[in-house]
Amino acid sequence: MVDAVGATNSTASSALQAQRTSLSNNFDMFLTLLTEQMKNQDPLNPQDSNEFVNQLVQFSNVEQQIQQNEHLESLLLLQSAAAQASAVSYIGRTGLATTPETTLSAGEAKWAYTLPEDSTGTTLIVRDSEDREVFRATGESSTGTYDFIWDGRDAAGAEMPDGVYSLEVLAVDSDGNSVNPEILATSRVTGVDLSGAEVVVEMGDVRVPLSSVLAVQEDQTST
Protein backbone atom coordinates (compact mmCIF):
# COMPACT_ATOMS: atom_id res chain seq x y z
CA MET A 1 0.00 0.00 0.00
CA VAL A 2 2.71 2.47 1.00
CA ASP A 3 4.81 1.48 -2.02
CA ALA A 4 1.91 2.42 -4.30
CA VAL A 5 1.70 5.90 -2.76
CA GLY A 6 5.45 6.35 -3.02
CA ALA A 7 5.41 5.28 -6.66
CA THR A 8 2.72 7.86 -7.45
CA ASN A 9 4.67 10.63 -5.75
CA SER A 10 7.86 9.57 -7.52
CA THR A 11 6.15 9.59 -10.93
CA ALA A 12 4.78 13.09 -10.37
CA SER A 13 8.16 14.39 -9.22
CA SER A 14 9.90 12.83 -12.23
CA ALA A 15 7.45 14.49 -14.62
CA LEU A 16 8.02 17.89 -13.03
CA GLN A 17 11.78 17.44 -13.10
CA ALA A 18 11.61 16.50 -16.78
CA GLN A 19 9.68 19.68 -17.52
CA ARG A 20 12.20 21.82 -15.67
CA THR A 21 15.15 20.12 -17.41
CA SER A 22 13.57 20.61 -20.84
CA LEU A 23 12.86 24.26 -20.12
CA SER A 24 16.40 24.83 -18.86
CA ASN A 25 17.90 23.23 -21.96
CA ASN A 26 15.69 25.27 -24.27
CA PHE A 27 16.47 28.45 -22.38
CA ASP A 28 20.22 27.82 -22.59
CA MET A 29 19.90 27.17 -26.33
CA PHE A 30 17.88 30.35 -26.77
CA LEU A 31 20.53 32.42 -24.96
CA THR A 32 23.24 30.89 -27.12
CA LEU A 33 21.37 31.72 -30.32
CA LEU A 34 20.57 35.20 -29.05
CA THR A 35 24.23 35.86 -28.27
CA GLU A 36 25.33 34.61 -31.68
CA GLN A 37 22.72 36.72 -33.45
CA MET A 38 23.75 39.83 -31.57
CA LYS A 39 27.44 39.16 -32.29
CA ASN A 40 26.87 38.61 -35.99
CA GLN A 41 24.22 41.18 -36.78
CA ASP A 42 24.88 44.04 -39.15
CA PRO A 43 25.93 47.07 -37.08
CA LEU A 44 24.36 49.35 -39.70
CA ASN A 45 21.08 47.43 -39.67
CA PRO A 46 20.60 45.91 -36.18
CA GLN A 47 17.75 43.52 -35.59
CA ASP A 48 14.76 44.60 -33.56
CA SER A 49 15.46 43.81 -29.90
CA ASN A 50 11.75 43.74 -29.00
CA GLU A 51 11.44 40.22 -30.40
CA PHE A 52 14.27 39.03 -28.16
CA VAL A 53 12.63 40.65 -25.13
CA ASN A 54 9.27 39.07 -25.94
CA GLN A 55 10.84 35.63 -26.16
CA LEU A 56 12.62 36.16 -22.84
CA VAL A 57 9.32 37.15 -21.25
CA GLN A 58 7.63 34.05 -22.67
CA PHE A 59 10.33 31.78 -21.28
CA SER A 60 10.02 33.50 -17.90
CA ASN A 61 6.24 33.00 -17.88
CA VAL A 62 6.58 29.33 -18.70
CA GLU A 63 9.12 28.86 -15.91
CA GLN A 64 6.77 30.56 -13.43
CA GLN A 65 3.88 28.35 -14.54
CA ILE A 66 5.95 25.22 -14.01
CA GLN A 67 6.91 26.42 -10.54
CA GLN A 68 3.27 27.11 -9.71
CA ASN A 69 2.28 23.67 -10.97
CA GLU A 70 5.03 22.15 -8.85
CA HIS A 71 3.76 23.91 -5.72
CA LEU A 72 0.18 22.90 -6.50
CA GLU A 73 1.25 19.31 -7.09
CA SER A 74 3.04 19.29 -3.75
CA LEU A 75 -0.08 20.56 -1.99
CA LEU A 76 -2.23 17.91 -3.67
CA LEU A 77 0.22 15.17 -2.71
CA LEU A 78 0.23 16.37 0.89
CA GLN A 79 -3.56 16.46 0.93
CA SER A 80 -3.74 12.96 -0.55
CA ALA A 81 -1.21 11.63 1.96
CA ALA A 82 -3.18 13.17 4.83
CA ALA A 83 -6.42 11.58 3.58
CA GLN A 84 -4.72 8.20 3.25
CA ALA A 85 -3.22 8.40 6.73
CA SER A 86 -6.60 9.38 8.13
CA ALA A 87 -8.32 6.49 6.36
CA VAL A 88 -5.84 3.96 7.80
CA SER A 89 -6.83 5.12 11.29
CA TYR A 90 -10.42 4.00 10.55
CA ILE A 91 -9.45 0.31 10.80
CA GLY A 92 -11.07 -1.34 13.79
CA ARG A 93 -13.67 1.40 14.15
CA THR A 94 -17.32 1.50 13.12
CA GLY A 95 -17.97 3.43 9.93
CA LEU A 96 -21.13 5.01 8.53
CA ALA A 97 -21.15 5.18 4.73
CA THR A 98 -23.52 6.02 1.92
CA THR A 99 -24.18 2.56 0.48
CA PRO A 100 -27.11 0.11 0.43
CA GLU A 101 -24.79 -2.82 1.17
CA THR A 102 -23.60 -4.04 4.55
CA THR A 103 -22.33 -7.26 6.12
CA LEU A 104 -24.52 -9.59 8.12
CA SER A 105 -22.42 -10.87 11.01
CA ALA A 106 -23.40 -12.62 14.24
CA GLY A 107 -27.07 -12.30 13.40
CA GLU A 108 -27.09 -8.54 12.86
CA ALA A 109 -26.94 -6.11 9.93
CA LYS A 110 -27.32 -2.36 10.41
CA TRP A 111 -28.62 0.33 8.09
CA ALA A 112 -30.06 3.79 8.32
CA TYR A 113 -32.31 5.53 5.80
CA THR A 114 -33.37 9.14 5.37
CA LEU A 115 -36.74 10.18 3.96
CA PRO A 116 -36.49 13.66 2.40
CA GLU A 117 -40.28 14.06 2.69
CA ASP A 118 -43.29 12.31 4.18
CA SER A 119 -44.48 9.15 2.47
CA THR A 120 -47.84 7.45 2.44
CA GLY A 121 -46.13 4.08 2.78
CA THR A 122 -42.55 2.85 3.17
CA THR A 123 -41.37 -0.69 2.54
CA LEU A 124 -37.95 -2.04 3.53
CA ILE A 125 -36.63 -4.94 1.46
CA VAL A 126 -33.46 -6.89 2.29
CA ARG A 127 -31.77 -8.66 -0.63
CA ASP A 128 -28.94 -11.17 -0.68
CA SER A 129 -25.84 -11.06 -2.86
CA GLU A 130 -27.84 -12.66 -5.70
CA ASP A 131 -30.40 -9.81 -5.50
CA ARG A 132 -33.07 -12.15 -4.15
CA GLU A 133 -35.54 -10.77 -1.62
CA VAL A 134 -35.09 -12.45 1.76
CA PHE A 135 -36.96 -10.13 4.12
CA ARG A 136 -39.55 -7.37 3.97
CA ALA A 137 -40.79 -4.95 6.62
CA THR A 138 -42.76 -1.72 6.97
CA GLY A 139 -40.66 1.40 7.45
CA GLU A 140 -41.28 4.85 8.83
CA SER A 141 -43.33 7.38 6.87
CA SER A 142 -42.36 10.77 8.32
CA THR A 143 -39.49 12.91 7.11
CA GLY A 144 -36.28 12.06 8.97
CA THR A 145 -33.49 9.55 9.47
CA TYR A 146 -34.19 6.12 10.96
CA ASP A 147 -32.12 3.12 12.00
CA PHE A 148 -32.97 -0.34 10.74
CA ILE A 149 -31.39 -3.41 12.31
CA TRP A 150 -32.06 -6.76 10.68
CA ASP A 151 -31.68 -9.91 12.79
CA GLY A 152 -30.55 -12.02 9.84
CA ARG A 153 -33.75 -14.08 9.56
CA ASP A 154 -35.76 -14.43 6.35
CA ALA A 155 -39.53 -14.08 5.99
CA ALA A 156 -40.01 -17.63 7.28
CA GLY A 157 -37.82 -17.05 10.34
CA ALA A 158 -34.87 -19.08 9.09
CA GLU A 159 -31.37 -17.81 9.83
CA MET A 160 -29.53 -16.52 6.80
CA PRO A 161 -25.79 -17.08 6.37
CA ASP A 162 -23.34 -14.29 7.08
CA GLY A 163 -22.38 -12.23 4.05
CA VAL A 164 -23.23 -9.09 2.11
CA TYR A 165 -26.85 -7.96 1.98
CA SER A 166 -28.41 -4.82 0.55
CA LEU A 167 -31.36 -2.72 1.63
CA GLU A 168 -33.97 -1.33 -0.75
CA VAL A 169 -36.36 1.37 0.49
CA LEU A 170 -39.59 1.87 -1.45
CA ALA A 171 -41.62 4.98 -0.61
CA VAL A 172 -44.23 7.14 -2.36
CA ASP A 173 -45.59 10.59 -1.56
CA SER A 174 -49.25 11.68 -1.37
CA ASP A 175 -49.34 12.16 -5.15
CA GLY A 176 -48.11 8.64 -5.81
CA ASN A 177 -44.64 9.75 -6.87
CA SER A 178 -41.58 7.84 -5.75
CA VAL A 179 -39.56 9.28 -2.87
CA ASN A 180 -35.81 8.80 -3.18
CA PRO A 181 -34.40 8.03 0.27
CA GLU A 182 -30.71 8.02 1.14
CA ILE A 183 -29.51 4.65 2.43
CA LEU A 184 -26.60 4.39 4.86
CA ALA A 185 -24.83 1.34 6.21
CA THR A 186 -23.04 0.89 9.51
CA SER A 187 -20.27 -1.69 9.79
CA ARG A 188 -16.83 -2.25 11.27
CA VAL A 189 -13.95 -1.03 9.12
CA THR A 190 -11.65 -3.97 8.44
CA GLY A 191 -9.19 -2.52 5.94
CA VAL A 192 -8.16 0.31 3.64
CA ASP A 193 -7.06 -0.11 0.01
CA LEU A 194 -4.59 2.55 -1.18
CA SER A 195 -3.63 0.90 -4.47
CA GLY A 196 -6.07 2.74 -6.74
CA ALA A 197 -6.62 6.35 -7.75
CA GLU A 198 -9.12 6.74 -4.90
CA VAL A 199 -8.82 5.36 -1.38
CA VAL A 200 -11.28 2.51 -0.77
CA VAL A 201 -12.50 1.67 2.72
CA GLU A 202 -13.32 -1.97 3.39
CA MET A 203 -16.25 -2.56 5.73
CA GLY A 204 -16.23 -6.32 6.01
CA ASP A 205 -16.84 -7.59 2.48
CA VAL A 206 -18.26 -4.23 1.39
CA ARG A 207 -15.94 -1.78 -0.36
CA VAL A 208 -16.83 1.92 -0.49
CA PRO A 209 -14.84 4.95 -1.68
CA LEU A 210 -13.47 7.17 1.06
CA SER A 211 -15.72 10.00 -0.15
CA SER A 212 -18.77 7.90 0.80
CA VAL A 213 -17.72 7.53 4.45
CA LEU A 214 -19.71 10.04 6.49
CA ALA A 215 -18.65 9.21 10.03
CA VAL A 216 -16.35 6.95 12.05
CA GLN A 217 -16.56 6.11 15.74
CA GLU A 218 -14.93 3.75 18.20
CA ASP A 219 -16.10 0.16 17.79
CA GLN A 220 -18.37 -0.45 20.77
CA THR A 221 -17.96 -4.23 20.49
CA SER A 222 -14.23 -4.02 21.22
CA THR A 223 -14.60 -2.14 24.53
Q: How far is CA 121 from CA 79, 133, 138, 171, in A?
A: 44, 19, 8, 6
Residue 4: the pLDDT is: 38
Give 64-93 pLDDT, tens digit per residue: 776 677 667 666 555 555 555 667 788 888
DSSP-based three-state secondary structure for 87: helix
**CATH (residue range 94-217):** 2.60.40.4070
Summarize pLDDT for 170-205 with one digit per residue, the tens: 999 988 899 999 999 988 899 888 787 788 899 988
Each residue of 14-73: pLDDT tens digit? 655 666 666 566 666 666 766 776 666 656 665 556 666 676 667 667 667 766 776 676
- The per-residue pLDDT for range 110-135, each reduced to its tens digit, is 999 999 999 999 999 999 999 999 99
pLDDT score recorded for residue 163: 94
If we measure between CA atoms, which residue out of 92, 95, 106 comes closest to residue 222? 92
Q: Provide the angle, in degrees to the nearest 10, between the axes of the packed helices 2-40 and 49-88.
A: 170
* Reported pTM: 0.60
Residue 217 clears pLDDT 80, i.e. is over it: yes
DSSP assignment of 19-83, as one string? HHHHHHHHHHHHHHHHHHHHHHS-TTSPPPHHHHHHHHHHHHHHHHHHHHHHHHHHHHHHHHHHH
